[in-house]
Structure 1
């Protein structure tokens, strides 16, 4: 017993020192101390993992922070702070989807949690920033130059740049400008081909001699060749490179008009014509939308996959890929293939995050989880698992019993016995918050389930939360209408009330009485005019008090006053 107390003392000491190190911003020391506390703990402690996760996050070691946050949640899934730790860690890792889900879970458990609200707002801002394509450096409007799907086709078809596009090194340089368009301004000085490419994209006519390979302008004093006196024949006008695009867009407009009229076959024809004229996967995405509305789901999926395949070759905008993947996900959702829908919603988010797809993903995952849980329900197997849990409990295998009872709960989630039995095993494992949570679920399923109340009260007692212990036992009294458990209730109630109202070390009886009279709950009862009337009446007629004790609330207040030594009932 002495060894156990020393063991607990070490944990408390390490935790306190870890908190102090964290406050002093010595995060490496905090990690070291919280690790010692974790190693010294006989049973997993969610608070210690939470503290170490926060220390790792402060060191920007977000991988370790995420692992500890996950462990914290595994130990105590009903503790909101574990999810805020997870949200902070995954935000640091750049996984905004997981971070947002974690903060939302924290707010489900604790709607007033300021840290979760702040974290969620920060993640949403980051998601919106990504969605808007915001960067750290302004690109002066040049960002779209090298991301337009038609840009590379335009350069390949233009007589001034077509030869450059045959050079893999030059094409690679252009692709690099997709991520850093401002580099085009500085790169033009070292590679004049970039300047000419920008001029073609912008539709600017460059002066003669400004292109690549041009030498210095001849001096005015140098004799000019005789040919210069001859009138220069006009160069042929280059074919407009956007003519096909304009024709394709006209077909797209016709397709959109037919789509709005729900004339989907006609719309598909126009979108096909647009694609045949000019290769822009927007037309394929539109065709897939029409096929979806037509109810031809398999064809819509094929079209989207084809659009993605072609888009990779055309170096199309990643947002178009995201739209195609999202439409595939929506189509699988319509086909009631939830796993495939989740797969493609995730692929869409990998290309480009949008709130709409995030919501679809979360909703689909929630529905899939619900269906899986429902399909797992089997009362017979639940009873087998419960019996296995009882056997392990009697053998003293508490972790094994918890596992078996958990299986019983999954197989029969509406049966309160599974939760109450697991609460009994968790009591042995000193997991008191989880005991209370399981008992509350059992009580919600069956308000007259007596064992759930006594196990809940016991958890409160060992946690030294005597007030909640006594309140729980009062409810247990009210359902024990046949007085089968009176002795059990009274014994625990007496222990809780004695501990709650016991004299402090070195305190005199008068000082104890004075302190207890100032207890907020006791003071409220003494100020209650109804209770004063009842107590005065009881002094003259003790039998009247027995009648009043039939009322559960009055009985609770009388018991409290008696436990505090304010009145005597015997």
Structure 2
């Protein structure tokens, strides 16, 4: 087998995403033809696809050294440098490639992606300060606490906690800078009119780029070793046949827009007769067949056009469009298993947004069809019973697997979700249990077993305020439900331990977890509640006064249940999170 044959085998393996095999074929080709820059480019793409960035870099450097006028070589080199997080080098490489081949879109995409990842890799100094526990820290700081009575200040903090990248838009606010300086431990803050914002990270003042990441390295198309520019192979623009063919194509397009497909097909065939090496006219013919709903004929025509295009070195965009059209026909015929890999292969040729959209729709369609085809309530009931047997035998992983099968077979049967939640609770997978309870209750909102298990999941994740709410909702449906009664009593006992400081849990840990709850964060962010908490901390005798107000009492009880407020530390003092205990 010669180098060209090994290269062809390598291309096939790459298209099938069998990268180790592709590397092996390209290596054999290189051993026979070590001066062919395309072979090194192809192998570099394989290494990059398996994150072997050092090997990808070495091959890309060899590729560029062999042919410094080939734009794709710079794409490979820049991608390898990007993968190694050498962003500045990658950007410089892509820019150098643009000097060689300015119209190559992959170079521009590479620059944008490298710049985006470079910015994302920079540490964010604000994220560590402006987190969910910031309100507790500010309340315990006598220089910052008064700001909590200002609604716009609280709103600013909530905005930054939700998205630390927004901090850059508040650099002019002296309260923000004072907060940052105080909590970061830098020291006092002068806060004068000449405060310099130059200390703030420069990248936080710029809007975040939304440039999409670059496409996967395209599969190199078989080509001669020298690979002359494709445009040079095109027919001279001044040739009479080109002009006549172009006119015929334009006439065909007009008929096509009017849905006069017979007339359009006649024109496209006439144009192809004048320019038998131009694959575009075959592409036009496939469009007519598709619109006529002749999907099988269109698939055959696409295959013939693809073979013609490769023989005549058609532009990669034409090849990609033919693949996309064939895949769309396969999708229309519900042959999704064949359509999806063909869409992906088309994207390797050319990352077209239309192809991406079609691929996404095809994958969703296939998933929906697969789910619908798998549904069988009888088999679902059998799987659920199998899960019950495993559960009773304390084989909880096996029970989860059986319940999962039951759900796949009958996704609208609510008890399988509740049963799987029970198995997850036994395994300590509380978040998964909570998710299953929510799914069960979405189907049957009054299923009390799922409500109780939801309360259990909250209890074991120490979200006691939410656990109480879950148990209470269950008791509204059935006041005698023992599982909810026991769960509520156990939760209240735990809250009492926390409120008295006897739980052994660090206050900061409880506060940090509680502030992840939007309801608790909203209470802590309320300026009036901050004033109330401040007065309660300064004068514990005011606590009973505030507890007489039903609205304030409810919020205080929620903060106690969440572990934010604690009482009875031995000195009769209220504690807020863990901050007060350390002062």
TM-score, scaled to structure 2: 0.50
Query: Gaps (5+ residues) in structure 1?
Result: 1-59, 66-87, 104-111, 132-146, 148-170, 182-197, 204-239, 508-517, 538-547
SS of 1:126's partner is: coil
* Aligned equivalents of 2:381, 2:355: Cα separation in 1: 41
User: 1:285 aligned to 2:283?
Assistant: yes
User: 1:274 aligned to 2:362?
Assistant: no
What are the Cα deviations for residues 451-484 of structure 1, in whole angstroms up to 9, with x where unaligned? Answer: 2222222222222222222232222222224555
* Aligned equivalents of 1:362, 1:201: Cα separation in 2: 35
Partner of 1:394: 392
* Aligned equivalents of 1:356, 1:258: Cα separation in 2: 24
Q: What count of residue pairs does the alignment treat as equivalent?
A: 347
Partner of 1:247: 244
Contact 1:249 1:274 in 2 (8 A): yes
* CA pair 562-244 structure 1, distance change in 2 beyond 3 A: closer
| Pairs within 5 Å for 1:401-440 | 401-440=399-438
* Aligned equivalents of 1:560, 1:317: Cα separation in 2: 66
User: 1:473 aligned to 2:471?
Assistant: yes
* Aligned equivalents of 2:460, 2:281: Cα separation in 1: 68
User: 1:460 aligned to 2:458?
Assistant: yes
Deviation at 1:409, TM superposition (A): 1.0
Query: Gaps (5+ residues) in structure 2?
Result: 1-47, 54-78, 85-105, 118-161, 166-205, 506-519, 534-542, 569-583
What are the Cα deviations for residues 193-236 of structure 1, in whole angstroms up to 9, with x where unaligned? Answer: xxxxx7x9898xxxxxxxxxxxxxxxxxxxxxxxxxxxxxxxxx
Deviation at 1:562, TM superposition (A): 10
Deviation at 1:61, TM superposition (A): 11
TM-score, scaled to structure 1: 0.51
Partner of 2:354: 356
| Pairs within 5 Å for 1:230-379 | 242-278=239-275, 279-379=277-377
| Pairs within 5 Å for 1:150-169 | none
Partner of 1:497: 495
Contact 1:461 1:496 in 2 (8 A): no
| Pairs within 5 Å for 1:77-226 | 92=83, 124=212, 126-127=214-215, 172=224, 174-177=226-229
* Aligned equivalents of 1:113, 1:280: Cα separation in 2: 53
The structure having more radius of gyration, on CA atoms, is 1
Deviation at 1:315, TM superposition (A): 0.9
What are the Cα deviations for residues 326-363 of structure 1, in whole angstroms up to 9, with x where unaligned? Answer: 11122233334333332332221121111111011111
Contact 1:525 1:557 in 2 (8 A): no
Superposition CA RMSD, Å: 4.7
Deviation at 1:559, TM superposition (A): 7.4
Partner of 2:132: none
Partner of 1:134: none
